[in-house]
Structure 1
Amino acid sequence: MRGLVLGGTASGVGKTVATLATIRALEAAGHAVQPAKAGPDFIDPSHHEAVAGTPSRTLDVWLQGEDGVRRNYHRGKGDVAVVEGVMGLYDGDGSSTAMVAEALDLPVVLVVDAKAGMESVAATALGFREYAAHADREVEVAGVIAQRAHGGRHEAGIRDALPDGMAYLGRIPPDPDLEIPDRHLGLHMGEESPLPEEALESAAEHLDSEALTDLAREPPRPPERERGPEDGSGGGSRGGPGSGSSPTGTRVAVADDAAFAFRYPATLERLRERAAVVTFAPTRGDSLPDCDAVYLPGGYPELHAAALADSDAIAEIGERAADGLPVLGECGGLMALSETLTTADGDTHEMAGVLPADVQMHDRYQALDHVELRARDDALTAAGGDTLRGHEFHYSSADVAGDARFAFEVVRGDGIADGMDGLTEYRTLATYAHVHPESGAFDAFLEAI
């Protein structure tokens, strides 16, 4: 599977729209496209999947290591991969777009905002190409997509000004229908606010699919891990592959609705390799399925707090957790497992009551970074002394009881409180950190069950 990376000059330049238009242009040319996202993102990949019809792979050097990034890439399906970058091309010390491009040895297509520029677009692209040598980075800026560019003289001026060896790959026309609405954690999810099909088709027509595929190349293959893949190529939706049988005899219930939508496809794939997975929707009236353990991923519980407060499934999780049912929560899962959740509007709702904490939403984000955690003792997702890498991004804070117990010390990041993460009670563990299955955390979770 050949691939290329769409990097931006900065956040907000329009990488997601350019990526979606590129996917559509390559599909129209007869290619099977595998979308991917550089960095620990759940929202942009939901838009990729809405357009490509296949889950987007997460590629993050901090979360997975270089070999893990290559493994995850090669488990994709298709003949061309389109990797959307994160922030600006060189931004981010944990796992920048440039670091992902280097790990995969893929060319970079630079997305440049051309709304108020012409020759300056070429100057910007040249600067990004030359900076790689200046910073001793093995990054090839091989082409440009002009975002918010008109046709005619505007387009011709950009194309003619580009330096030798840098391909002009087309433009995304200015169109208000190509704007994706956003909120506190980023863009709306793909199923909530998909781009209008007509606008996306029109944008794709202005991209050179042949030139894009000519640039793409295949990354090197890494060695497989001896313990087996951490994020295999299975997957599927509710009741899909892996939901009917389990090599370990374990049945894991995974929350799957608008309140718990932040999970990597690789996580479900890994769980399904070793357990029977059944999904349920707490905000839509589902009861907790018969299970041996529960996984509550992140999402938007603050937008569905009233529904969660009335949810039979959340109440049952509270009861069964007190009886020793293993429960793993990440970020939004932590919020739902707490005593109460107070929204930014000041409304307080009762949650599962498993963990001794009250969660409060804020108007500004409280943490945003790659994180590293060290287990204090054996925990559901790590042995004592082991470290886990993940990321955190949340607008809430947790007021924890004085006798609260934590499973992890925070080596990098903020955590829940006082340099600690992993609030634990009974056999329940919840973190603000999201981890990727490449970390081995979900294998440890299954083994603990």
Structure 2
Amino acid sequence: MPKQQHLCPALVVAAPSSGSGKTTVVAAIARYFTNLGKTVRVFKTGPDFIDPNFLAFASGQPVYQLDFWMCGEAHCKALVAEAAQQADLILIEGVMGMFDGQCSSADIAAVLGIPVLAVIDAAAMAQTFAAIAFGLSHYRQDVAMYGVFANRVGSAGHAQMLKDALADSLTFCGYLQKNSGLTLPERHLGLVQAEELADLDQRLDLAAAMLAETAKLKLPPPVALQAPQAEPLPLLLVNCTIAIARDKAFSFIYQANLDVLQQLGAHLVFFSPIAGDELPLCDALYLPGGYPELHLQALQANQVLMQQIRLHAQSKPILAECGGMLYLNRSLSDVDGVSAELCGVLDATAQMQDRLCALGLVEADFSGQKLRGHSFHYSKTQSQQWVLCTPIAQSGREMDPVWQQEKLIASYIHWYFPYNPQLVASIFKGEL
């Protein structure tokens, strides 16, 4: 199949470790160039939901995830090449440390041929900054280093010290000072959600203004990005209306999932359980993950919706992921033991824990048809439902099961629909 090639300036923004401030720096760069009238397309390495919300807010453009195992290498290449058709700049935020994981930031950079901007937290170091930068740039010969960015710098003098220590082969691309008010708050699944920060616009504009003063902000050289031209998906969901819960309680939705449903022919309608919405007229229901445990009172108060969902479940398809599944259980208790009676569609109860219960990319086998996704949760579920299959993590261990009841499929997994669109269509048509 012929490949399409597009030229676009692009950077992978990586770091020595998690917590270095990659998201803040990427969001600031995206907002800076967006404010200049440039179209900035941002991607996130790995299956994360929360960072992409901030990056979408900063750039004003949808953000997609990149992981060669969960998404497929060809699919990742296609997403980036497609973005290059209309973007002035592509930024790919890395994951964890630059070389960490089975699809690391370095892997993304090497496979796509995109240079790396390394963000290093310099708050408690001086010349060691240069040693870390040198190590990052020389650890793998197949990764090109564009430059180095210092985060949480104490002063302009501190920044100059960091710059002077760098090897001649490395470019100092600027810095952000610590105690700048730009740090983004966190909770148990990562950062708080973008829509929860009323002053996020002001924070991002401040970050962009700071970058203008302290960084060498110019577009990097164009990169040739190419991918095979994909065949259009069959219209397996034409005339199918899918209602999707979307609000602060149910916000973990891959943009690529919505794209696939529409490419399959589905009509999507959105509703907010915590705002008191009723269930829209629909043929199928999609309940994604999120933070239902933070909105128990509002969810329990919407009795009309819960009754409508119970009726829907008697004859129509439902796909429930993680927090969406917890909403369908008989009850959910938070870490303090405060419990709410919820939909009761599933014969199950769940209890929030004070520590992580499961984390990893997973694959499930639906009678020979496979689908991949991601599991990341702080709750435990006791369920009496029939087990459809037991997903296997990328590491090889067994994960929490996929439960089935009539045309309802429920699990802790956030599925990645583009991995197997035909199977996804079968789920929403109730054909499993």
TM-score, normalising length: structure 2: 0.90
Aligned residue in 2 for 1:88? 97
Cα shift at 1:202: 3.0
RMSD: 2.3
Cα separation, 1, equivalents of 2:79 and 2:430: 25
Equivalent runs, 1:312-351 vs 2, <5 Å: 312-322=304-314, 324-351=315-342
Cα shift at 1:409: 2.1
Q: Can you list the C-alpha shifts for 1:357-377, whole angstroms capped at 9, x where unaligned?
A: 1111001010111112222xx
Equivalent runs, 1:36-185 vs 2, <5 Å: 36-76=43-83, 77-93=86-102, 95-133=103-141, 138-185=142-189
Cα separation, 2, equivalents of 1:414 and 1:184: 23
SS in structure 2 at match of 1:196: helix
The one-letter amino acid paired with 2:101 is G
Cα shift at 1:12: 0.5
* CA spacing shift, 1:114–1:385, aligned 2, 3 Å: same
Cα shift at 1:270: 1.8
Equivalent runs, 1:277-288 vs 2, <5 Å: 277-288=268-279
Cα separation, 2, equivalents of 1:96 and 1:413: 14
SS in structure 2 at match of 1:69: helix
Aligned residues: 414
Cα shift at 1:347: 1.3
Cα shift at 1:145: 0.7
SS in structure 1 at match of 2:295: helix
Cα separation, 2, equivalents of 1:331 and 1:410: 14
Q: Can you list the C-alpha shifts for 1:293-312, whole angstroms capped at 9, x where unaligned?
A: 00011100111112212222
* CA spacing shift, 1:24–1:178, aligned 2, 3 Å: same
SS in structure 1 at match of 2:57: helix
* CA spacing shift, 1:28–1:229, aligned 2, 3 Å: farther
Aligned residue in 1 for 2:11? 4
Cα shift at 1:201: 3.0
1:428 counterpart (404, 408, 411): 408
1:443 counterpart (421, 425, 429): 425
Cα separation, 2, equivalents of 1:27 and 1:448: 43
Cα shift at 1:216: 5.0
SS in structure 2 at match of 1:374: strand
The one-letter amino acid paired with 1:397 is K
Cα separation, 2, equivalents of 1:214 and 1:100: 17
Percent of aligned positions that are identical:
35
Q: Is the 8 A contact 1:373 1:421 kept in 2?
A: no
* CA spacing shift, 1:447–1:320, aligned 2, 3 Å: closer
Q: Is the 8 A contact 2:318 2:428 kept in 1?
A: no
SS in structure 1 at match of 2:390: strand
Q: Is the 8 A contact 1:177 1:199 kept in 2?
A: no
2:286 counterpart (278, 289, 295): 295
**Does residue 252 of structure 1 match 2:252?**
no
The one-letter amino acid paired with 2:60 is G
Q: Can you list the C-alpha shifts for 1:224-251, whole angstroms capped at 9, x where unaligned?
A: 3335399xxxxxxxxxxxxxxx971111
SS in structure 1 at match of 2:228: coil
Cα separation, 1, equivalents of 2:301 and 2:229: 45
Aligned residue in 1 for 2:3? none
**Does residue 17 of structure 1 match 2:24?**
yes
The one-letter amino acid paired with 1:330 is E
Q: Is the 8 A contact 2:31 2:205 kept in 1?
A: no
Cα separation, 1, equivalents of 2:362 and 2:398: 15
Equivalent runs, 1:219-298 vs 2, <5 Å: 219=225, 221-226=226-231, 228=233, 248-273=238-263, 274-298=265-289
Q: Indicate the larger mover: 365-374 or 199-208.
A: 199-208
Q: Is the 8 A contact 1:63 1:435 kept in 2?
A: no
Q: Is the 8 A contact 1:59 1:73 kept in 2?
A: no
Q: Can you list the C-alpha shifts for 1:241-273, whole angstroms capped at 9, x where unaligned?
A: xxxxx9711111000111100001111122223
Aligned residue in 1 for 2:206? 199
**Does residue 186 of structure 1 match 2:190?**
yes
Q: Is the 8 A contact 1:355 1:424 kept in 2?
A: no
Cα separation, 1, equivalents of 2:129 and 2:22: 15
SS in structure 2 at match of 1:86: coil
Cα shift at 1:421: 1.9
The one-letter amino acid paired with 1:173 is Q
* CA spacing shift, 1:414–1:59, aligned 2, 3 Å: closer
* CA spacing shift, 1:171–1:341, aligned 2, 3 Å: same
SS in structure 2 at match of 1:63: coil
Q: Indicate the larger mover: 189-198 or 279-288.
A: 189-198
TM-score, normalising length: structure 1: 0.87
Aligned residue in 1 for 2:39? 32
* CA spacing shift, 1:277–1:28, aligned 2, 3 Å: closer
2:357 counterpart (352, 366, 380): 366
Q: Can you list the C-alpha shifts for 1:386-409, whole angstroms capped at 9, x where unaligned?
A: 2222111100011112xx212222
Cα shift at 1:413: 6.4
Equivalent runs, 1:373-388 vs 2, <5 Å: 373-375=364-366, 384-388=367-371
Q: Is the 8 A contact 2:250 2:292 kept in 1?
A: yes
